[in-house]
Amino acid sequence: GDSVTQMEGPVTLSEEAFLTINCTYTATGYPSLFWYVQYPGEGLQLLLKATKADDKGSNKGFEATYRKETTSFHLEKGSVQVSDSAVYFCALIGGATNKLIFGTGTLLAVQP
């Protein structure tokens, strides 16, 4: 079945460092891909999305490119801030089903 694998955390960075959180997926058909962010004590917010191969989703300085050849959707940011500290989830909606499948989440801690 469809699945999402993302890198284990926690990821600890200093402010202004470069961020990469890896995400790979397995799915039949052509899934839509998402990154969500969860701040402490809150629900999930959609951070960015991509619906077809080679699409680049971007928001708030974060970017991710839908790579069909490597089945990946890695999240990147050039310069992280303390306020970016949160849990980040990679997710997909399968091309053959309507199930919204999540990775296990990656905790990001940014230190001043």
Partner 1 sequence: SQTIHQWPATLVQPVGSPLSLECTVEGTSNPNLYWYRQAAGRGLQLLFYSVGIGQISSEVPQNLSASRPQDRQFILSSKKLLLSDSGFYLCAWSAEGARAAFFGQGTRLTVV
Distance CA 50, CA 33 (A): 5
CB of 40 to partner 1, least distance (A): 10
Residues ≥6 apart with Cβ < 8 Å to 41: none
79 binds partner 1 (CB under 8 A): no
Do strands 19-21 and 100-102 pair parallel, antiparallel, or not at all (unpaired)?
unpaired
96 binds partner 1 (CB under 8 A): no
User: DSSP character for 41?
Assistant: T
Cβ proximity to partner 1: between 78 and 95 the closer is 95
CB of 101 to partner 1, least distance (A): 7
98 binds partner 1 (CB under 8 A): yes
From candidates 31, 66, 80, 108, binder to partner 1 by CB under 8 A: 31
From candidates 44, 58, 63, 67, binder to partner 1 by CB under 8 A: 44
Q: What is the DSSP string of 50-87?
A: E-STT-EEEETTEEEE-BTTTTB--EEESS--GGG-EE
59 binds partner 1 (CB under 8 A): no
